[in-house]
Amino acid sequence: MRIRVISAIAYILFAPLIGGLLEGIDRKISARMQRRVGPPLLQPFYDLGKLLHKQVISVTNMQAFLLLSYLVFIMLTGVMLFSGMDILLCMFTLSTAAMFLYFAACITSSPYSTIGASRELIQIIAYEPAVLLTCVGFYLVSGSFRVSRIIDVNLSNLVYLPGVFIAFVFILTIKMRKSPFDISTAHHAHQEIIKGITSEMGALNLAIFTVTEWYENVFLLAVIALFIINKNPWSIVSALIVLAFVYFLEILIDNSSARMKYTHMLKMAWGVTLVLAGSNIWVLMLIK
């Protein structure tokens, strides 16, 4: 119990730091791939500091409340995961957080922000099946939805869930808003809807959104780690290696792919989920 409480507190305190460093690494590697020097590693924190020092101007005061709710629910999602609680409940809470982000974009009445919000809903439709099948896969292997039971296995869940793992890594590109699936918003200003859902977010509101994204990215990578970690203490080292590879792969895909239309995203996400994750779950149900 003490370890779970410490893990939850550590997530609250250090997830933004880890998320900011990961974004800095992302920018640095992306710059090298494009033969640029790139910004300093700590540039995301410098940008966050600038946002916090800017004059607070918002289209509507309700947007700040909705973004704070988005932040709180994402933090709650991570706390539940690192506390060893029900992973299915974690994913439902994650979906609830996404709804607050959707409403925060819609409430501005901006055409760019509204279109971005609509595309955010499409992204949710695209990745939710893979998320739910991931939870089902963990249950079939461990016999429980509790994270504490999922990691308390003799062999890594990846041995039993290779198809589910690939499907989750695939939709990770959508969740992290990277090309070719950055249809609702992007970290780079190259969209026909400018910045999509973040178009009308500025100063404090944009800072809240940024920190929330850092929390969410750490949570998503922690879910990836669940596929690797088991009773063997050395599995944590293996998990870190896999996480480094997966994150580098996401950066590589982001820098080598052009943004797709939402129809292609839906077909690809559902296709990968149905073929790989679906068949993996079907085989597990037969042998269990």
Q: Supply the DSSP symbol for 277.
A: I
Q: How far, in Å, CA of 24 to CA of 40, rounded?
A: 7
User: Which pLDDT belongs to residue 130?
Assistant: 94
Q: Quickly list DSSP for 76-97.
A: HHHHHHHTT-BHHHHHHHHHHH
CA–CA separation, 185 vs 286, rounded Å? 41
**For the chain, what is the domain count?**
1
pLDDT of 161: 94
Phi, psi of 86 (to 5 degrees): -65, 120
First-to-final CA distance of the chain: 30
Asked if residue 14 has pLDDT above 60, the reply is yes
- The predicted model gives 225-237 an average pLDDT of 90
Domain residues for 69? Answer: 2-287
Q: Rounded to the nearest 5°, which phi and psi values hold at 257?
A: -130, 140
Quote the pLDDT of residue 201: 77
* Rounded-to-integer distance, Cα 10 and Cα 183, Å: 32
Task: Give residue-wise pLDDT tens across range 54-98.
Answer: 777 766 778 888 999 999 999 999 999 999 899 999 999 999 999
Q: Concatenated DSSP letters for 182-231?
A: --S--SSS-BTTBTGGGTT--HHHHHHHHHHHHHHHHHHHHHHHHTT--S
Q: How far apart are CA 22 and CA 24, in angstroms?
A: 5
Distance, CA of 153 to CA of 139 (rounded, Å): 12
CA distance 171 to 187: 17
Chain-centroid distance, C-alpha 94: 9
**How far apart, in whole angstroms, are the C-alpha atoms of residue 208 and residue 72?**
10
**Overall residue count recorded for the chain in this entry:** 288
Task: Tell me the per-residue pLDDT of 162-218, one tens digit each, with 9 for 90 and over.
Answer: 999 999 999 999 999 888 888 877 666 555 556 778 777 777 888 899 999 999 999
Residues in contact with 189: Cβ distance below 8 Å, sequence separation at least 6, in sequence order: 195
Nearest to 8 by CA among 218, 230, 233: 218
